[in-house]
Amino acid sequence: MIDHVAIQCSDVTAAARFYDAAFAPLGGRRVLEFGPVIGYGTDRPEFWLGPRADDSAGFRESHLAFAAPDRATVDAFFRAAVAAGAQVLHEPRVWPEYHPDYYGAFVRDPDGNNVEAVCHAPAP
C-alpha cells in the first residue's frame, strides 16, 4: 500500500550521512537527488529526505504516497479525497520530472500532511 514516504529534516546533510550509513546494511542507497531532496531505496526512491518547509518549532509536514494499480485508481482517490474535504495540492497528472510514467495526485489531509496516490505503470 505504501509507495514512498518523505520526512523533513533540519539539516539534510547530517541526516543524509546518517541514512547513508544506516541503510547500507539493508541494501539501501541514494538512488535520486532532486535539488535539496534525496531519495533512498534499492532500485527506486522509497524514502525521501528534504529540508524543513518551515523553520518554526512545531508541526512538520509528512509526505505519504500510496501505490495505485492504475491511473483510474489515482483519479478515484483524488475525487474521493476532495469530496471528503481534502485541500487540493496537485490534480492528477503525469510527472515526467520523476519518470515518464509517474502519474500522481496530491492532497492535504485534515492534519496538514501531503498525501499522494501514484501509479508507475504506463498509460494503457
Tens digits of residue pLDDT in 107-117: 998 778 899 99
CA 116 to chain centre: 7
Burial of 35 (0-12, 13-18, 19+ CB in 10 A): exposed
pLDDT of 30 above 70: yes
Q: Please state the pTM of the whole predicted model.
A: 0.81
Domains observed in the chain: 1-56 (3.10.180.10), 61-124 (3.10.180.10)
Tens digits of residue pLDDT in 53-69: 776 667 788 899 999 99
Q: Partners of 103 in the beta sheet?
A: 94, 119
